[in-house]
Every structure is written in C-alpha cells, then in structure tokens.
C-alpha cells in the first residue's frame, strides 16, 4: 500500500489463471500466497487485511506482504471508502467503483463502465483521466438527501 504509481492491471478470471500469471513472472507460489488468492477469488467484495489474516489463520504481516506483492503485479488493488482502512480486491474481479454516503454510510458498488459519463465529463473539462477505484466518490445518497 505504498504511494507508488500502480502496475498495469493483471486481470485474471480464475485462480489457476492467476497462479499461472504469477509463476510466469517468477514468483513462488507458497501455501499462504495461494490461500490469499483463493480467498480473494472467493469473495465478491473488497476485504480487509485483518479479515484475511483472521479467516486464513495467518500472520497479518504475511497477508500484507502478499497483498503488497500482488498489488505490485497489478493483480490486486485497494480501495478507501470513508475513513476506514484499506480494502483489497482482485483487479480483474472487482473493477468496481463506489459511491459512499457520508451521512448514513451506505455504499453503492458500480460496475466498471457506469461512471464513464462522469469520467468523460472530467476528461473534457480538465484533460484528466479519472479512476474512482482508489477513493470512493463521497457524498450524500438519495435517501439522506430527502431526509
């Protein structure tokens, strides 16, 4: 979770695919490494390092070291919704972007293309190509706007 620019995404649909890709890049596939990958493939949502370590019964530092390596390879990314710690997900599996309501904490996950209009608007006006995969879009949800 270092501040360095991100590796190009390494999208893998299956565990086998990911293992192959990592092998090809010369990485060793230890038991813990495979467990972390499995866990990431098994869930639909970004998960915390804490959660992974607990669930897999392995040391937090090991989890972090593996996630770090996976991020370096572009296989994994982490997101920040409100003020919470980083949450990790597979790049290819969870290219979602999030709307976070700061009043009620509601989180709306968006499929990869759903923010394209927004992205285009930003691009037209400022020339920046935006990604909302690192920081959620924070605001007020429809319900709280009414209330």
Q: Which residues bind a second copy (CB under 8 A)?
A: 1-3, 5-6, 80, 82-84, 99, 101-103, 108, 110, 114, 117-118, 121-122, 125-132, 134-142, 145
6 makes contact, choosing from a second copy, DNA, none, with CB < 5 to 8 Å by partner type, with a second copy
Q: Between residues 100 and 141, which has the closer beta carbon with respect to DNA?
A: 100
For residue 129, the Cα-to-chain-centroid distance in whole angstroms is 18
CB of 73 to a second copy, least distance (A): 17
Contacts of 58 (CB under 8 A, 6+ apart): 32, 35, 52
Q: How far apart are the first and last CA of the chain?
A: 37
Contacts of 21 (CB under 8 A, 6+ apart): 10, 12, 73, 75
| CB of 71 closer than 8 Å to CB of 59 | no
59 makes contact, choosing from a second copy, DNA, none, with CB < 5 to 8 Å by partner type, with DNA
Q: Which residues bind DNA (CB under 7 A)?
A: 1-2, 23, 27-33, 48-50, 58-62, 64-66, 68-69, 78, 84-86
């Amino acid at each position: 979770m270092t501040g360095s620019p991100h590796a190009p995404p390494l999208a893998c649909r299956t565990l086998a695919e990911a293992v192959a890709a990592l092998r090809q890049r010369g990485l060793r596939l230890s038991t813990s490494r495979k467990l972390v990958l499995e866990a990431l493939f098994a869930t639909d949502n970004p998960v915390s390092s804490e959660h992974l370590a607990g669930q897999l019964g392995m040391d937090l530092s090991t989890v972090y070291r593996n996630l770090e390596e996976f991020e370096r390879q572009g296989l994994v990314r982490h997101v920040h919704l409100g003020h919470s710690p980083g949450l990790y997900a597979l790049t290819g599996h969870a290219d979602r972007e999030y709307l976070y309501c700061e009043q009620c904490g509601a989180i709306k996950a968006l499929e990869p293309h759903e923010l394209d209009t927004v992205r285009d608007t930003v691009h037209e006006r400022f020339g920046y190509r935006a990604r909302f995969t690192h920081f959620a879009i924070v605001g007020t949800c429809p319900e709280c706007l009414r209330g």
